[in-house]
Amino acid sequence: MKKTLNVIFIGLGSRGNVYASQLKKQSEDVNFVACADIDPDKLTRFADKYGIPEECRYKSGEELLNCEKMADIAVIATPDRLHASEAIAAMKKGYNLLLEKPISPVLSECLQVAKTAEELNKSVIVCHVLRYTGFYGRLKEIISSGEIGDPVSVDAFEAVHYWHQAHSFVRGNWRNSTESSPMILQKSCHDMDILLWLTGKHCKAVSSFGSLTHFKAENAPEGAPERCSDKCPSYLSCPYSVENCYIKRAREQGFFGWPTDVVTQEKTLEDLEKRLAEGPYGRCVYHCDNDVVDHQVVNLLLDDNATVAFTMCAFTKAGGRTIRFMGTKGEIIGDMDKKTLAVHIFGGESRVEDTNAAATDNLGHGGGDYGIVRDLLGLYTDESGSSQSLTGIKNSVESHVVALAAEESRKTGGKLINIEDFIK
Ligand SMILES: NC(=O)c1ccc[n+]([C@@H]2O[C@H](COP(=O)([O-])OP(=O)(O)OC[C@H]3O[C@@H](n4cnc5c(N)ncnc54)[C@H](O)[C@@H]3O)[C@@H](O)[C@H]2O)c1
């Protein structure tokens, strides 16, 4: 007989809701026992939707974790800097975890979460959702089959997308590294994770360059006020204005999906305009308290002298990831948005694989949101399921170490960082 999986949720924003809806979509054997958020609206909306009784609605993660254990799993989807303390407190109460990335922006805390999981024998799935996509899953299969020989070099690119940068990394939650995380960890721990996983190798040294070049006061158009709606002379022409990022699509196409739904949960033009006139997302992108980079390059030296060159950049028309994977017998050129993998075997045949078919649910990180929840359910409810998660804490920490080492290198002018020394 299948076991019911009891779950608590800490942090009921975008990600908490994604995991809740995936859990309900994929299994009838999940029971949402309690939830916590400091935002009363989000708490009520979530709890009402899933029928969680009044007495099981908590005003913070801390309050919920002060209670005795009441479920098998805790889903932790709060802001970055809370993850480690909540994860450790939850494990001490006896919970296994689905833990949003980053594990922590602080190296010692990342290592402490991993150590606690090992000592208490707790399962911690870190939400490196890319490993669960059909695209990267198939790429890993081809590489592991040996078809392109031994991986020697990888060239990977993450296009952030100009208005995604403005929304999340200039005006939004991840604009300031001391409040959240450095961008190479926040956005690209996924990339560090996937690149190490694909190569099947470890990183021994890192160097990095990057900076915040554009979203600064000195680049503001003449006469730009603090807020777009305060009669900015560039209101219509600036690609980053609230008109061009949010309002036009809402007015002309009725679009209130991501990221507009982060600004207004009511999803009306009136509420959107009011929130943009008053809230953080209405600020001029040249007059925010942002400090995270808008472009960064990272070079990795792997343990057998294979190399990885990775670039992340805000200034792209659309978001997405591309990769060129070079082995001793062939190369693979992949485009995650198109979901294609072009495989070229030296002196042999070439083919283009369409990985659409490999993804069960392509929505949400290319099927990754579906896949990570399937992995979680497999671990706990399906008796024939795997006993080890693809993104367990042990496999996930290295990406964070590498990302934090890259940030250290960037801040010290591209200094070469030896990973072993960095951990010490
Ligand atoms: N795996 C991925 O691909 C992915 C994608 C986006 C975001 N994330 C990560 O997920 C986390 C959450 O991101 P999000 O987009 O859902 O943000 P969000 O702001 O929508 O949600 C965070 C929620 O946590 C709540 N919160 C804050 N302090 C709290 C506390 N003490 N106790 C309980 N709740 C508290 C907030 O009120 C908010 O509702 C972040 O760490 C982010 O880096 C991961």
Tens-digit pLDDT profile for residues 91-140: 999 999 999 999 999 999 999 999 999 999 999 999 999 999 999 999 99
User: In ligand 1, which atom is closest to the CA atom of 82?
Assistant: 31
Residue appearing with tokens 């040294």: 205
- Look at residue 362 and tell me whether its pLDDT is greater than 80: no
Question: Among residues 109, 108, 105, which one has the least CA distance to residue 89?
Answer: 109
Residue 276 CA to ligand 1 center (angstroms) comes to 21
Which CATH superfamily is 130-215+290-423 part of? Dihydrodipicolinate Reductase; domain 2 (3.30.360.10)
Residue 210 CA to ligand 1 center (angstroms) comes to 26
Q: Which of 9-18, 83-92, 98-107, 365-374 has the lowest mean pLDDT?
A: 365-374
Residue 18 CA to ligand 1 center (angstroms) comes to 11
What is the rounded distance in angstroms from the CA atom of residue 303 to the CA atom of residue 7? 40
Nearest alpha carbon, ligand 1 atom 20: 13
Per-residue confidence (pLDDT) for residue 263, from 0 to 100: 95
Which residues does 416 contact at the CB level (< 8 Å), separation at least 6?
205, 206, 207, 409
Q: Which residues line ligand 1 (CB under 6 A)?
A: 10-16, 36-39, 42, 60-61, 77-80, 82, 100-101, 127, 129, 173, 186, 365
- Look at residue 386 and tell me whether its pLDDT is greater than 90: no
Strand partners, 57: 35
Please choose from 8, 9, 35, 38 the residue to mutate so as to test ligand 1's pocket, defined by most ligand atoms within 8 A of CB.
Answer: 38
- Look at residue 335 and tell me whether its pLDDT is greater than 70: yes
- Look at residue 385 and tell me whether its pLDDT is greater than 60: no
Per-residue confidence (pLDDT) for residue 3, from 0 to 100: 81
Q: Which of 75-79, 226-230, 360-364, 381-385 has the lowest mean pLDDT?
A: 381-385
What is the rounded distance in angstroms from the CA atom of residue 360 to the CA atom of residue 365? 12
Three-state SS for 283? strand
Average pLDDT of the segment spanning 285-289: 98
Do the beta carbons of residue 390 and residue 131 sit within 8 Å? Answer: yes
- Look at residue 366 and tell me whether its pLDDT is greater than 90: no
Strand partners, 335: 322, 340
What is the rounded distance in angstroms from the CA atom of residue 374 to the CA atom of residue 342? 28
User: In ligand 1, which atom is closest to the CA atom of 15?
Assistant: 16
More confident residue, 387 or 40: 40
User: In ligand 1, which atom is closest to the CA atom of 78?
Assistant: 24
Do the beta carbons of residue 419 and residue 402 sit within 8 Å? Answer: yes
Please report which confidence band the pLDDT of residue 223 belongs to, taking 50, 70 and 90 as the band edges: very high
H helices present in 232-367, as ranges: 242, 248-253, 260-263, 269-278
CATH 3.40.30.10 fits 5-122, yes or no: no
Residue 126 CA to ligand 1 center (angstroms) comes to 14
Residue limits of CATH 3.30.360.10 in the chain: 130-215+290-423
What is the rounded distance in angstroms from the CA atom of residue 200 to the CA atom of residue 366? 22
User: In ligand 1, which atom is closest to the CA atom of 365?
Assistant: 3
Structure tokens at 196: 């190490």
User: In ligand 1, which atom is closest to the CA atom of 128?
Assistant: 1
Structure tokens at 402: 């590498």
Residue limits of CATH 3.40.50.720 in the chain: 5-122
> Quick count: other Cβ atoms within 10 Å of Cβ 193?
25
Strand partners, 205: 301, 418
Per-residue confidence (pLDDT) for residue 383, from 0 to 100: 56
- Look at residue 384 and tell me whether its pLDDT is greater than 50: no
- What share of the chain has pLDDT > 90, as a percent? 91
Residue 86 CA to ligand 1 center (angstroms) comes to 13
Across the chain, mean pLDDT equals 95
Please report which confidence band the pLDDT of residue 382 belongs to, taking 50, 70 and 90 as the band edges: low
What is the rounded distance in angstroms from the CA atom of residue 30 to the CA atom of residue 381? 9
Structure tokens at 5: 């999986």
Q: Which of 180-184, 278-282, 373-377, 384-388 has the lowest mean pLDDT?
A: 384-388
Structure tokens at 251: 């007015």
Structure tokens at 163: 């208005």
Please choose from 45, 100, 158 the residue to mutate so as to test ligand 1's pocket, defined by most ligand atoms within 8 A of CB.
Answer: 100
What H or E segment, with its residue span, contains residue 387?
none
What is the rounded distance in angstroms from the CA atom of residue 308 to the CA atom of residue 155? 6
- What share of the chain has pLDDT > 70, as a percent? 96
Do the beta carbons of residue 356 and residue 134 sit within 8 Å? Answer: yes
Please report which confidence band the pLDDT of residue 193 belongs to, taking 50, 70 and 90 as the band edges: very high
What's the chain's length in residues?
424
Do the beta carbons of residue 44 and residue 53 sit within 8 Å? Answer: no
* Tens digits of residue pLDDT in 288-322: 999 999 999 999 999 999 999 999 999 999 999 99
Do the beta carbons of residue 105 and residue 81 sit within 8 Å? Answer: yes
Structure tokens at 188: 């690209």
Which residues does 341 contact at the CB level (< 8 Å), separation at least 6?
135, 138, 139, 142, 332, 333, 334, 352, 353, 355
Residue 17 CA to ligand 1 center (angstroms) comes to 10
